Structure 1
Amino acid sequence: MSEDGKSTVRAVERALDILLCFTTNSEWAMTEIAENVGLHKSTVHRMLATLEERGFVVRDPASDRYRLGLRIWELSANMSGADDPAVIGLPEMERLGAMLGETISLYLRDGDERIRIQAVQSSQAVRRVAPVGARMPLYVGASSKVLLAFEDVQKREELLRVITWPDSFDKEQFCEQLEEIRRLGYATSIEEREQGAAAVSSPIFTRGGKLVAALSVSGPANRLTLEKMREQAPAIIEASARLGAMLK
């Protein structure tokens, strides 16, 4: 590749890094972006100007902060929903939410993290709010445990090696939990990741038997008790099976 070609690739990589900042925060100052991606402010300024010109970001003149532009939404609107769990699963999630009265989330594994790709918020006054796009570690939470427990053995062992475990974490006990989860067909968590929150989750397999996602019900721990989650588990497992039957 020529030097010009390498320079072009680097410019594309840097522009994508800037756009990826918006997966963690909805708004950024130019200096914050520069610090986050490790580039000089003048370089980030030029790239933001180009992205703004093309409609990928918008600058708020009052705050001098950037947010995603309409061009991003135009791109996402043209994503194929033919086999997208977030699109296909929404009616089933809405049905489950109406039945159980709690927040319903759909998670995919991305490397050693999980990401919420769809959510149906509870209509109750006190509820668990689940923002779409949120990323969480794989070592904590009901959906994380499901995405590990039902992964094929080789991949699960590989993930268990690469996860960055907290110093105080009991990995051996966690692995024992995974075996129990496989036996039960679902996982629960109470205040593991967030104080006052609880969740129960089950795996979603495609028609070909591939683990593709985790379906989760979450709510306040004082309402979503362990006993309550055990009662709800069969309905969640059934919903997961129906959703998976729609996926190739």
Structure 2
Amino acid sequence: MARSLAFTSYLICMGSLFAAQINAATFEIGRASVEMPAGEWKQVTASEGEVLLDGGASGRIPTDDRAFGLMHGERVAAILLISSSKGGIVVKTNWMNSCAGTKISYASNTAYHLNGLACARATGRLNTIAYLKRAVPKMFRELEALEPALPPISRSVSAVVANDYGTMLYVNLVAAPAFAGSPEKPLENVPAGVNPRHAAWADRLAVAIRDSVYSLSGKLVIPSVEFSTSPSSAKQGTPSK
């Protein structure tokens, strides 16, 4: 009975959480002008964030953080997390972040030089709620409210690019396992458990983000987000350890 009441409350709040549907193809996040892929994307929440340099000893870069949901009927097929530095801020930066893969995750370092940052990543299967809690703690409360509609298992496909003047843009697609990835030739020699087409999509995303970071307009065109089968009917499997 208690769970039934909780789920009823969830259904009531769905309208308010997803009231801010993104009708325009392009919208502003920090200094970035982001063009969403096709689909029924709705903003779930927003937050002010920051990137600490050397743990805060060398300064900090304020960011505009957003979370969007891709609706598929009454289900959420994917969550899109975006964090963008704000315009008008110039901080000479030496990025020390690593970009290394593991036995169960793909990573590709495409930085132009040592001071810059450019990393594309793709993971195996993840517990969606546990991953979101770790990835975006400031926005987790609103995302947790969507749990009945979220895929229990998902994959993270992301990229981050930053230049040595403090411009940074990070995009993370947390999608149901049925996410098709890149329609182009899949990458070879990716870690076991990582979908090669997801790794290829991460690389495409990194190129798009790099174009945004190193441009005056900040325009970012996110690659298309397609699914090989219905996100709500695909087998979920088990998360990576």
TM-score (norm 2): 0.36
Q: Mark the structure with the bigger radius of gyration.
A: 1
Determine which structure has the larger helix proportion and give its number: 1
TM-score (norm 1): 0.35
